[in-house]
């Protein structure tokens, strides 16, 4: 346990007053400290005091403290301070996250990453490998890639019958967190107008239109997004070695890059998302596992889920071990992430989702509003160190304006 007397200011009277003013939060914090201490063989009072001090003097909230397992006795006080706060799922609902994202990725550039068609066309024009776009469904200006209308159920029905496309993805053009994404493996026997999703559900054109109209989850997950438009793109066939482990859902590696003060793209973290359920999306809020990736070898380390503080080395529900698995095409994956980061260096920090097909890596998305906890939960250290820290401090101080 860290020496709290050396780490905290001498006068804690302000802290005592704050605790007295917030009895509900204090009771909840104490309950959580006792629970975690009991599960991990720790002293509840020490956990409670340390969490309170980190929140009071270093703004590391309770959610981040426990999510990153900062109660581990082997972590020094300085190591705990290096973890970036994630308040997206906490009471503050992302205020700190938004400030960090806006600092590293100015709002004026967000459209390039938020609009999946713009993203595909820009990065695809530079020769980077991306999924094939078949069209955009939109009730006002939807179109197929060959110029036909894609604005109604009848338009969608025609496309399903005549396109010749078997596997495809139907996802919000400005989606987030995997909400409303449908992945189709093929058609029902004898009826090209009905597509079969990975979970076995059958969709015709009318059901696809109804699915697009149900936008409550999308509005909640990405406030301000245009919820009417859906991108239709080809389904990426995952590398067979990965399919053996996780099944049919395409699982991406999240490669976190920065553009340094010297203008060089660098990889600062990588996490592979493992989704054993046939839901078509690999986001952790859909019960996937995030496993740390060794940056040199591409080997998977232990993983974490959003629903549990414990590390996992097997896929929940299947018992399939994944620690030690080496991702195929790892050097090519890193090269693709660095090329993507260099393509638009005014956005200084991006979380790239890269799929690995039998033919090599494929760029799926770039997240300028990246999941802070995703890349730190399974990580051996926090991100606020090295060149990331230098970049953050320079931008925050106005020394380097992107």
Read off the pLDDT of residues 254-270 as tens digits, 9 standing for 90 and up: 999 999 999 999 999 99
Residues 178 and 323 in one domain: no
Q: What is the CATH number of the domain that holds 350?
A: 3.30.470.20
Structure token digits, residue 284 = 């952790």
Residues 267 and 387 in one domain: yes
Show the CA angle centred on residue 81, arms to residues 267 and 254, nearest 5°.
25
Residues 245 and 392 in one domain: yes
Residue 75: give the domain boundaries.
4-81
Residues 43 and 158 in one domain: no
What is the tally of structural domains in the chain? 3
Structure token digits, residue 373 = 């906890």
Can you give the pTM of this predicted structure?
0.91
The sign of the torsion formed by the CA atoms of 364, 366, 369, 373 equals positive
Distance CA(315)–CA(5), nearest Å, equals 42
Residues 150 and 248 in one domain: no
Contacts of 215 (CB under 8 A, 6+ apart): 180, 227, 228
- pLDDT for the residue numbered 20: 55
Of the candidate ranges 30-44, 79-93, 307-321, 369-383, the one whose mean pLDDT is the lowest: 79-93
Residues 245 and 385 in one domain: yes
Using one digit for the tens of pLDDT, what is the confidence trace for 125-152?
A: 999 999 999 999 999 999 999 999 999 9
Using one digit for the tens of pLDDT, what is the confidence trace for 353-399?
A: 999 999 999 999 999 999 999 999 999 999 999 999 999 999 998 64
């Amino acid at each position: 346990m860290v020496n709290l007397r050396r780490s905290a200011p001498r006068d804690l009277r302000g802290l005592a007053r704050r605790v007295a003013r917030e009895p509900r939060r204090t009771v909840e914090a104490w309950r959580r400290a006792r629970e975690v201490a009991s599960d991990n063989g720790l002293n509840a009072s020490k956990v409670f005091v340390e969490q309170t001090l980190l929140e009071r003097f270093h703004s590391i909230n309770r959610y981040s403290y426990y999510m990153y397992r900062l109660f581990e006795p082997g972590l020094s006080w300085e190591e705990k301070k290096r973890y970036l706060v994630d308040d997206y799922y906490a009471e503050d609902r992302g205020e700190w996250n938004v400030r960090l994202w806006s600092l590293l990725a100015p709002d004026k550039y967000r459209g390039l990453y938020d609009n999946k068609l713009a993203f595909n066309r820009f990065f695809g024009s530079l020769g980077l490998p991306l999924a094939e776009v078949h069209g955009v469904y939109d009730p006002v200006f939807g179109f197929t890639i060959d110029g036909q209308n894609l604005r109604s159920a009848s338009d969608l029905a025609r496309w399903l019958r005549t396109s010749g496309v078997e596997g495809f993805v139907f996802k919000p053009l400005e989606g987030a967190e995997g909400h409303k994404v449908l992945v189709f493996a093929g058609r029902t026997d004898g009826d090209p107008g009905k597509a079969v999703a990975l979970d076995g559900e059958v969709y015709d054109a009318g059901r696809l239109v109804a699915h697009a109209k149900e936008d409550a989850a999308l509005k909640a997950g990405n406030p301000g997004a245009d919820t009417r438009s859906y991108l239709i793109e080809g389904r990426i066939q995952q590398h067979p070695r990965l399919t053996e482990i996780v099944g049919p859902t395409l699982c991406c590696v999240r490669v976190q890059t920065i553009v340094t003060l010297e203008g060089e793209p660098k990889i600062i973290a990588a996490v592979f998302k493992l989704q054993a359920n046939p839901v078509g999306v690999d986001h952790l809020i859909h019960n996937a596992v995030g496993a740390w990736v060794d940056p040199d070898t591409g080997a998977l380390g232990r993983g974490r889920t959003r629903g549990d503080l414990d590390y996992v080395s097997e896929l929940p529900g299947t018992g399939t071990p994944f620690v030690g698995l080496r991702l195929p095409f790892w050097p090519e994956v890193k090269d693709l992430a660095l090329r993507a980061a260099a393509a638009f260096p005014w956005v200084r920090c991006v979380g790239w989702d890269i799929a690995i097909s039998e033919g090599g890596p494929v760029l799926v998305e770039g997240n300028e509003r990246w999941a802070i906890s995703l890349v730190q939960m399974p990580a051996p250290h926090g991100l606020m160190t090295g060149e990331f820290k230098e970049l953050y401090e320079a931008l925050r101080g106005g020394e380097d304006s992107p």
